[in-house]
Amino acid sequence: MGAPLQVAAIVVRVLSQLWKKPTVAVNHCVAHIEMGRIVTGADDPVVLYVSGGNTQVIALLKARESCN
């Protein structure tokens, strides 16, 4: 993990403890796909995800379930 991400992770952990709130890990790629699914109302979207060096064609067959 790069230095900026390490600093952000430390800040998040400290704020989480100070505010007594849980830290929730989020998959950035999946978050974009889920937002697109919600906005468009698509049940089983096929997504072209292009982000810098990370390019993927992804088929989401069902909504991800909560981790709780």
CA distance 66 to 5: 25
Enumerate the β-bridge partners of residue 56. Answer: 49
Locate the DSSP E strands across the chain: 46-51, 54-59
What local confidence, expressed as pLDDT, does residue 15 receive? 97
What local confidence, expressed as pLDDT, does residue 33 receive? 83
What local confidence, expressed as pLDDT, does residue 3 receive? 92
pLDDT tens, position by position, 7-36: 999 999 999 999 999 999 888 888 888 888
What local confidence, expressed as pLDDT, does residue 68 receive? 41
Closest by alpha carbon to 11, among 38, 3, 58? Answer: 3
What local confidence, expressed as pLDDT, does residue 11 receive? 96
pLDDT bracket for residue 52 (50, 70, 90): confident
